[in-house]
Amino acid sequence: MAGEGSGDAMDLVVVGAGAAGLMAAIAAGEATPPGTRILLLERSRDGGRKILISGGGRCNVLPSRLDPRWYFTDSSPHTLKKLLLAWPLAAQRRFFEDDLGIPLKLEEETGKLFPVSDRARDVRDALVDRARRAGVRILFETSLAGLAPGEDGSWRISLEGGGGFHSRVVLLATGGLSVPATGSDGTGLRLLEGLGHTLHPLYPALTPLLADPPLHRELAGVSLDLTLTAPAEPGKPETRGGFLFTHRGYSGPTVLDLSHFAVRSRGTKHPAELIVRWTHDTEEVWNQRFQEAARVRGGSTMAAILREQLPQRLADRLLEEAEVPVDRSPARLSREERRRLAAALGAYPLPWTGDEGYKKAEVTGGGVSLAEVEPRTLESRLCPGLFLCGELLDAFGPIGGFNFAWAWATGRTAGLGAAARLAEMGVGAPG
C-alpha cells in the first residue's frame, strides 16, 4: 500500500517485481547478511505480470541456445556480451531446476524451455517465495513517484499517494513501455533521464506489423513456416519460422523478430524492406523448379503444384498477383509468367505500413546507454549507489526466452552489485 512504512530507512530498495527485479532481489538478499533491510516495491497487486502472460501462460523461461550476436543494441555489442554471459545459460537453467525446484522441458520445434507443469504462475510464485526466504520484504500496490539523491549519499524515494523511504542503495527494475497493461509506463526511464542518464531513442520492438489498407485481409488466420529477410539492413538479417496473417497485417515469430527494423525506419526516406520466401526457397530455386515441372509434370496445374507446399488461399492469391491462371500448366507458362511467379514465391516484398506499437510489443527497444553502467555490477556511472537492470537497458533479443535470459542475467548482476556496495558501506560482506 502506498505510504506504508513512510520514512523508513532501508539498506536497499528494489523497484519493480518483474523478472529482472525479482532476480535482483533474490541475488541481493542471498548475498547480504541476515537483518539487511531490503525492500521490493511493486505497483501491481502480485508482481511478475509479464512472466504470467509469457508463452501463452506457460512461460518460456529460457532458450535452449544463447548467442549475444542475436541481440540488438545501439550501445556497445561487447558490453552487451559481457552482461549477457555474466551468468551463463547452463547456470541459469540450474538455478530454476535445482534452486527453485522448477524442472524445465525442451520444446523441440522451437528450442524453447518451458516449465514441465506448463504453468507460468509456478515460475512467478517460486521467484516471489525465494525472495521472501532471502529476507526481502515486498510491498505490492506501491508505485514509485520520485527518486533523488540525498546530501548524505543515500536516496530519497517518494511514492504515489504520499510517503516514501530513505535507502542507502536503490536498484531500478521498472521495465520499459511494452505491454502497458502489465504496469510498464516508463516511470523509471523518465526518472533516469532526469538524473542525467542518456536514453537511446525508445521504440516498440517484437511487435506485429500493420498494412493500411489491409491488402491481405482475406488471408487472416492463415499461418505457415517461411523465411523473412531485411536485405538492406546491416548484416542482411534473416529469420526463419512462423508467420501469421492477421486482419490488420502480419504477426508470428519471423515478423516480430525483424519488426524493429520497420519501426525504426518509419517516417524516414527509406522505410525498411522486408522480403518473404514463402517456402524458404529462393526465386532462383522456384524458377528451376518450374522448368523441371514443365518437363515431367506437363498435366499438372500451377495451382496444384503450389498447393502442395502452401496453404490453398495463399497459393491462389500469389497466382492472382503474378497474373498466372490457376489452371495454367507448367509447360504452358511463358517466360514472363514464370519470372513473375518465381519472384512472388521467393522474393515477395511484404507491404507493411505501420506497427501495433507498445500495446502488443514484447519489449522496448532503446533505453539507458550501456556505456553509463559498470558492466561488472550494473551500478550507474553517473549516480553512485544506483543500480539498473532488465528492460531499462539498451538491449533486447529475439522472441523465445532470450529477453528473460537478459532479465535473469542483468538482474542477478545488479543484485550482487548492490550487495557488494552495501558491504563497502559496512552493512556486510556479500556471499
pLDDT in tens, 154-198: 999 999 999 999 999 999 999 999 988 887 889 999 999 999 999
Q: What pLDDT does 429 receive?
A: 46
Quick check: 1 pLDDT over 60? no
Please give the C-alpha separations between residue 318 and each of 302, 325, 346, 348, in angstroms, as whole numbers.
11, 10, 11, 10
For 115-169, the DSSP string reads: ETT--HHHHHHHHHHHHHHTTEEEE-S--EEEEEE-TTS-EEEEETTS-EEEEEE
List the alpha helices (DSSP H) in 162-252.
Answer: 187-194
Helix axes 402-424, 19-30, angle to 10 degrees: 40
Q: What gap in Å lies between CA 333 and CA 420, rounded to an integer?
A: 72
Average model confidence (pLDDT) across the chain: 94
Q: What pLDDT does 298 receive?
A: 66
Quick check: 8 pLDDT over 90? no
Residue (of 22, 23, 120, 109) closest to 64 by Cα position: 109
Q: What gap in Å lies between CA 283 and CA 339, rounded to an integer?
A: 8
**In this structure, what DSSP letter does residue 207 have?**
-
Residue (of 131, 124, 110) closest to 18 by Cα position: 124
Structural domains in the chain, sorted by start: 8-204+363-424 (3.50.50.60), 208-355 (2.40.30.10)
Q: Greatest CA span in the chain, whole angstroms?
A: 87
pLDDT in tens, 266-293: 989 999 999 999 999 999 999 999 999 8
Percent of the chain with pLDDT over 70: 97
321: number of Cβ within 10 Å: 14
